[in-house]
Amino acid sequence: MANLQYFNYPGFGERSRKDVHYSQAVRIDNRIEVSGQGGWSPLTEAIPTTLSAEIDQAFSNVALALTTAGGQGWSQVYKVRLYAVINEELTWGDYMEHLVRNLREWCPGHAPVLTGVGVAGLAVEGMRVEVEVEAVV
């Protein structure tokens, strides 16, 4: 039987655990799975107004969740799922520059597998992007 350990970072993570009953990351033996991370500030929960800043913060939140679970961050990520709000105002083209820039910055030594999913909306009002990852530690 796998050994499951659940982790939540201070602020948004701890509040979500208490109020919504879910964790930001789970460590399963030598793997870490991170729940979808939006571009919220971990402490204030504010979402940036620009898409670029929101994507940057989502990637930073993934790193925070990974290290909170005992990982070393993006260097151990092998799989990425990106959920992006696609509508009349936002297309995949709006996301790609920021997504590619962050992948190159956070994963300079490797290129994880990626699945992108267009959605009508996300759980937090005003959120446009959510990043979910799996890592091996």
pLDDT digits (tens, 9 = 90+) for 81-119: 999 999 999 999 999 999 999 999 999 999 999 999 999
Q: What is the pLDDT of residues 41-57, one digit of tens each?
A: 999 999 999 999 999 99
97: domain range?
Answer: 4-136
- Residue 5, sorted as left (phi over 0), alpha (psi -120 to 50) or beta, turns out to be beta
C-alpha torsion angle, residues 117, 76, 74, 131 (rounded to 10): 20
Please state whether beta strands 113-119 and 77-85 pair in parallel, antiparallel, or not at all (unpaired): parallel
**Residues facing 37 on adjacent strands:** 131
Whether this model's pTM surpasses 0.95:
yes
pLDDT digits (tens, 9 = 90+) for 28-39: 999 999 999 999
Residue among 27, 26, 60 nearest 43 (CA): 60
Instruction: Round to the nearest angstrom and report the end-to-end CA distance of the chain.
Output: 18
DSSP state at residue 39:
S
Please count the structural domains in the chain.
Answer: 1
Q: Where residue 78 sits, what CATH number does that domain have?
A: 3.30.1330.40
Q: Using pLDDT thresholds of 50, 70 and 90, give the confidence band for residue 1.
A: low
